[in-house]
Amino acid sequence: SAVISQKPSRDICQRGTSLTIQCQVDSQVTMMFWYRQQPGQSLTLIATANQGSEATYESGFVIDKFPISRPNLTFSTLTVSNMSPEDSSIYLCSGNRGETQYFGPGTRLLVL
């Protein structure tokens, strides 16, 4: 299985601030994704992180709110900007390895 790590594992933030989540994957991962999972809900794809270029965002998600970087093959960051309580969620990094997709442990974010 692919090794995917994320940090921080959890955080409590104030409204209006920003949080950057880091994701590290092993070298056999090709594509990287960022998901959001709101309480009691399934996974919603935020964007595909593209190495060395702008991420590809899904409908409803914009770069100004969720800037994503992927400076190399094995590292990506997701920033949740100008946070509001509605951003309270689990944020998951994911990567494809061959035909399968793996997930990191998630970052649990609470915005007060």
Partner 1 sequence: QKEVEQDPGPLSVPEGAIVSLNCTYSNSAFQYFMWYRQYSRKGPELLMYTYSSGNKEDGRFTAQVDKSSKYISLFIRDSQPSDSATYLCAMSASYGQNFVFGPGTRLSVLP
Q: Which residues of this chain interact with partner 1, rule CB under 8 A?
A: 1, 30-31, 33, 41-43, 45, 48, 92, 96, 98-106, 108
In this structure, what token pair is assigned to residue 93? 């990094």
How many Å separate Cα 20 from the centre of its chain?
Answer: 9
Comparing CB distances to partner 1, the nearer of 16 and 22 is: 22
Nearer CB in complex with partner 1: 75/102: 102
Q: Is the dihedral of CA 54, 90, 103, 76 positive or negative?
A: positive
Of the two residues 9 and 15, which places its CB atom closer to partner 1 in the complex?
9
> What does the block give as tokens for 51?
């190495």
Closer to partner 1 by CB, 67 or 106: give it: 106
Query: In angstroms, what is the minimal distance from the CB of 16 to partner 1?
Result: 26
Q: How far is the CB of 5 from partner 1 (least distance, A)?
A: 10
Q: Which residues contact 41 (CB under 8 A, 6 or more apart)?
A: none
Least Å from the CB of residue 53 to partner 1: 17
What CA–CA distance (Å, rounded) separates 8 from 27? 21
